Structure 1
Amino acid sequence: MNDLSPTKLAPDAYGVLTEPDTLTIQRLLPGPVERVWAYLTEDGLRRQWLAAGEMVLAADAPFTFVWRNDELTSPSGQRPAGSAEEHRLDCRITELDPPKKLSITWGSTGGVTFTLEPVGAKTLLTLVHRRVPERSTLLSVSAGWHTHLDILAARMGGTEPEPFWDQVARLKQDYEGRIPG
């Protein structure tokens, strides 16, 4: 596995493939680790940047994410044809080390791990999405995580994020040229 230290990956940049089927993306976020942890684990904060869903913080605890991406930004941008207003995903916590690490199952993929590391007065969030089965899914996952993490950074920084769907469409094209065919 590659060295994922802050000097190897640029926070706030594009995600990279750290294995042929694994996306790693980082964001340097304002505030202490505990504040970022709250945005990962508390329904009221998480729904502002990713998805709703009550989460019991215990290993092997099941939960359901509920996406309503049209509600994440105002305006939301143009939702692509075929995209539903709401999407649900049943997940389970696979690893928990508050407030440093949270790993969860994610559909048919190998799961997602969020790792938090203090960097001065800020927090480096490293997201690793493992074993994404095919390129088309990897493109969607890459653009989606990039957009959701940009919204998180904006929410935590008190700024207004770019319209969700417009950013996803733009980033999907960008990742098309960044992820090998």
Structure 2
Amino acid sequence: MNQMKTIEAYGELTEAATFTIQRLLPGPIERVWAYLTESDLRRQWMAAGLMEMKAGSQFELVWRNDELTDPPGQRPAGFPEEHRMEGRITELDPPYKLAITWGNTGGVSFLLEPKGNDVLLTVIHRRLPERAIQLNVTAGWHMHLDMLAARLAGKTPTSYWDGWSRLRAEYDRRLPA
């Protein structure tokens, strides 16, 4: 398979309950790593939360998706203004790998690989329990990574919630029922 096609493609369920998505991001790798691990940078594309860079350390992530873009778009019914989740670092190999627990839905691994001046980021989210959660999480990762790519490229990301809603509908068509 053509590597660029893989990088540009939507994420996919690589196993029944495992979602994998990739983005080719402007480097260097240390900069992308900082956007994954430093609260002030991570909150610009996903969620705030201090992380002690040590395997076994616990942290809390705080999402305020309405604050990611201006305007934020229409938040779907049932989504709170703020969401909090506790996690723990399970693997750490700076600046190449960060693996964390993800609330009660399993774990997430962030793998970074230098590709010339760019960095290939692979996100693997394991143990997504049911279709409704899978659709929310797949649309969320896709939109958050689009926001990360825009921030790293110095561009203004599109409306978070409008993009998320569009992507959730698209993943509903793409993922097996």
Deviation, 1:83, is: 1.1
- Runs of 4 or more above 2 Å deviation: 5-9
Counterpart position of 2:140: 144
- Which residue does 1:13 correspond to in 2? 9
2:64 is the alignment partner of 1:52: no
Q: In structure 2, which of residues 55, 80, 84 is the aligned counterpart of residue 84 of structure 1? A: 80
- Pairwise CA distance, 1:109: 1.8
State whether residues 9 and 26 of structure 1, in contact with CA within 8 Å, keep that contact through their aligned partners in structure 2. Answer: no
Counterpart of 2:26, as a letter, is P
Contact 1:139–1:176 (CA<8 Å) still a contact in 2? yes
- Structure 2, unmatched stretches of 5+, are none
One of 156, 159, 174 as aligned partner of 1:163: 159
**Paired residue type of 2:115:** V
Give the share of equivalent positions with the same residue, in percent. 62
Distance 1:9 1:91 in 2: 32
Q: Which amino acid aligns with 1:95?
A: E
AA in 2 matched with 1:144: G
Residue by residue over 1:90-110, the C-alpha shift from the partner in whole angstroms, topping out at 9 and shown as x without a partner, is 000000000000000001222
1:100 aligns with 2:102: no
- SS of residue paired to 1:11: helix
Partner of 1:111: 107
User: Aligned equivalents of 2:158 and 2:19: distance in 1?
Assistant: 22
SS of residue matched to 2:8: coil
Query: What per-residue deviation string (whole Å, max 9, x for no partner) do you get for residues 18-41 of structure 1?
Result: 111100000000011111000000
Are residues 128 and 9 of structure 1, via their aligned partners in 2, closer, same or farther at CA, if it must alter by over 3 Å? farther
Find the aligned partners of 1:149 and 1:159 in 2 and give their Cα distance: 13
Q: How many residues in Structure 1 have an aligned counterpart in Structure 2?
A: 177
CA deviation string 1:27-80 (max 9, x = no partner): 000011111000000011000000000110000100000000001011100011
**Deviation for aligned residue 1:12:** 3.1
Alpha-carbon separation, structure 2, partners of 1:98 and 1:13: 26
Q: 1:32 maps to what in 2? A: 28
Residue 176 of structure 1 aligns with which residue? 172
- The secondary structure found in structure 1 opposite 2:142 is helix
Query: What residue identity is the alignment partner of 1:14?
Result: Y
Q: Secondary structure in 2 aligned to 1:59?
A: coil
Structure 1 position 174, deviation (Å): 0.2
Rounded to whole Å, the distance in 2 between the matches of 1:71 and 1:155 is 14
With normalisation by structure 2, the TM-score equals 0.97
How far apart are 1:11 and its partner, in Å?
A: 1.4
RMSD of equivalent CA atoms? 1.3
